[in-house]
Amino acid sequence: MAAAAAAAAAADSDGDSGGCGSSRDSGSDGCGARMRARTRAVAMAVLSYSGGCSCNGGGSCVVILVSAPVAVASIVAVAVARAIAEAVILAVAVMMVEVVAVAAEVPVAVAVTEAVAVAVAVAVAVAAAAEAAVVALILLVIAFDLTIWIVLQSFSDIPDSEKACKDIAYQLVKENPRIQVILGGGRRNFLPQNSTEPNRSEARRTDGLNLVEEWKQEKMSHGFTHSYVYDKEGFDRVNPANTDYLLGLFSHSHMQYEAERDNTKEPSIGEMTAKAIQILSKNPNGFYLLVEGGRIDHANHANQAHKTFADVEAMNQAVHNAQRLTPDRDTLIVVTADHSHVLALAGYASRGHNILGLSTVDGQLNTVSPSDGKPYTTVIFGNGPGWSSDPRPNLTEVDTTAVNYLQDAAIPMRSETHSAEDVAIYATGPQSFLYTGTHEQSYIPLAMAYASCIGPYAEGKLACAKYEVLPHNNDPTPCTDPNPAELTRSTPAIVFMLSIAAIIFVLITKH
């Protein structure tokens, strides 16, 4: 979702966001603290779901922890006391009846005494069993409480800065109000339960906030022209020329896969990219845009190559639109991925071969190389839900190009995994040469900041691109001191990023 990605980028670059784990606060312990914070959130969810206690700060959990052992001890004590008392009464009763029977010399009375004794003994046994069951149940509750208590204890060292972890929708609207364009899915995370907005049954905020209304109010209070849209018709009506702020939430959850997208309900990622650039490029100081094709990742997890490639193609259109709508001389575009997947292209397919089809050699179905004599798909996965049976099915008559076909996977898994190889990074525009070679991922945003003279490279801090001689500008006198003011005017930048897995692109322009 573009909105989520934009929020993440904004939060990361803004040390004052106060959200989850700014690098400044967390230090070397940041990752561990964030992990524990997430664990705490899970534990809270378990508690909330179980109804055991509403664990706001753990106070009510302590009540249960104290009360449960006391309750169990009481039950055990009562059960023991009852058993002893009943045994004593039984013994006394038997003795008395026997004494009376012997004294009266009535043999029948002895038989009756024995029957009564047996009946009482059975009753006592049943009562004891029932009590044991109750005690066992209580012990189970205690075990659950103790587990939660142990988990809660592990949270005790969470720094205060990590405790108030805010969701991305909240950060987007409340903590980064100057993000001008937010487009994507996830509407349910912006609306309170029982909201009257579209798809209200999906709305899931429990804090009562209606972030769409909050967003509108904030823009109105500043006199900004703004639009909130939730379908394609509304999106098409937005005129970039007179819109400063745009919030578009087109789905309660994720946007649709491109292969299944209803063109009358949701805009494509290419259309959203174009609209965003048309709005942002009105700013004379330039802009930064991040676009993420997040559903490529989801289709890979499902082993659905058709959907994967359809979303890659949609992302390609977004990159194309960005190039078309921005000047290359002042726009840095970076295209890369945050990770790859265990997707492989297998065999020796001929030119023009359908990549979703079965593997061929010289145009003929390849059933020779596989030891079982059955053809295989050109796209295969290392793991995932596409794993079939053993022996594997014969795919000769199967339409492997279908939208919902699952390509074969070597290891059966509910969801395919990411993988660890390096991903490509492509760049065009000013300072794009900074992206040659192999880099750690953290280098990517730093190079963008350097190219744009923002963040750590803002005026008066560190040197940035505008003070450097650009190697790609064919300057015959590379040691001359460039005029910073002139370079400042000539270095708006756009940054883009792309991948096989999740394609992200970012645009920056900066005067």
Choice between 188 and 341, CB closer to Zn ion: 341
Mask: binding to Zn ion, 268-307, rule CB under 5 A, as x and -?
-----------------------------x----------
Choice between 286 and 384, CB closer to Zn ion: 384
Give the nearest distance from C-beta 294 to Zn ion in angstroms. Answer: 9
Choice between 300 and 428, CB closer to Zn ion: 300
Q: What is the length of the chain? A: 511
Tokens of 15: 């040390």
Give the nearest distance from C-beta 295 to Zn ion in angstroms. Answer: 10
Total residues binding Zn ion (CB under 5 A): 1
Asked if 311 interacts with Zn ion (CB under 5 A), we say no
Choice between 162 and 297, CB closer to Zn ion: 297
Choice between 302 and 506, CB closer to Zn ion: 302
Radius of gyration in angstroms for the set of CA atoms belonging to the chain, rounded to a whole number: 34
338: number of Cβ within 10 Å:
18
What is the C-alpha to C-alpha distance for residues 190 and 394, in angstroms, rounded to an integer?
47
Question: CA 36, 39, 45, 47 torsion: positive or negative?
Answer: negative
Q: Is 338 annotated as a binding residue?
A: yes
What is the C-alpha to C-alpha distance for residues 392 and 381, in angstroms, rounded to an integer?
14
Q: Given phi > 0 = left and psi -120 to 50 = alpha, else beta, which region is 315?
A: alpha
Asked whether 47 and 55 are in contact (CB, 8 A), the reply is yes
Element (H, E) at 409: strand 409-412
Tokens of 52: 């055991």
Give the nearest distance from C-beta 360 to Zn ion in angstroms. Answer: 31
Residues 6+ apart with CB under 8 A from 54: 47, 48, 60
Mask: binding to Zn ion, 121-160, rule CB under 5 A, as x and -?
----------------------------------------
Q: Which amino acid appears at position 225 of this protein?
A: T
Cis peptide before 385 (omega within 30 of 0): no
Residues 177-236 interacting with Zn ion (rule: CB under 5 A) = none
Q: Is 14 annotated as a binding residue?
A: no
What is the C-alpha to C-alpha distance for residues 229 and 243, in angstroms, rounded to an integer?
12
Give the nearest distance from C-beta 410 to Zn ion in angstroms. Answer: 18
Helices (H) and strands (E) in the chain, counts: 14, 14
Tokens of 511: 């005067």
Give the nearest distance from C-beta 329 to Zn ion in angstroms. Answer: 36
Give the nearest distance from C-beta 503 to Zn ion in angstroms. Answer: 12
Choice between 294 and 375, CB closer to Zn ion: 294
Give the nearest distance from C-beta 339 to Zn ion in angstroms. Answer: 7
Burial 347-358 (b: 16+ CB within 10 A, else e): bebeeeeeebbb
Residue with smallest beta-carbon separation from Zn ion: 297
Q: Is 16 annotated as a binding residue?
A: no
Q: What share of the chain is helix, strand, coil (3-state, %, to 5)?
A: 50, 10, 40
β-partners of residue 345 are 379
Choice between 388 and 415, CB closer to Zn ion: 415
Give the nearest distance from C-beta 500 to Zn ion in angstroms. Answer: 12
What is the C-alpha to C-alpha distance for residues 36 and 91, in angstroms, rounded to an integer?
59
Choice between 244 and 297, CB closer to Zn ion: 297
What is the C-alpha to C-alpha distance for residues 288 and 322, in angstroms, rounded to an integer?
12
Residues 3-22 interacting with Zn ion (rule: CB under 5 A) = none
Mask: binding to Zn ion, 385-414, rule CB under 5 A, as x and -?
------------------------------
Give the nearest distance from C-beta 297 to Zn ion in angstroms. Answer: 4
- Is residue 499 packed enough to be buried (19+ CB in 10 Å), middle (13-18) or exposed (0-12)? buried
Q: Is 301 annotated as a binding residue?
A: yes
Nearest to 307 by CA among 298, 297, 318, 299: 299
Choice between 173 and 502, CB closer to Zn ion: 502
Q: Is 298 annotated as a binding residue?
A: no
Binding site for Zn(2+), residues? 297, 301, 338-339, 418
Binding site, residues? 292, 297, 301, 338-339, 418
Q: Which residues bind Zn ion (CB under 5 A)?
A: 297
Binding site for Mg(2+), residues? 292
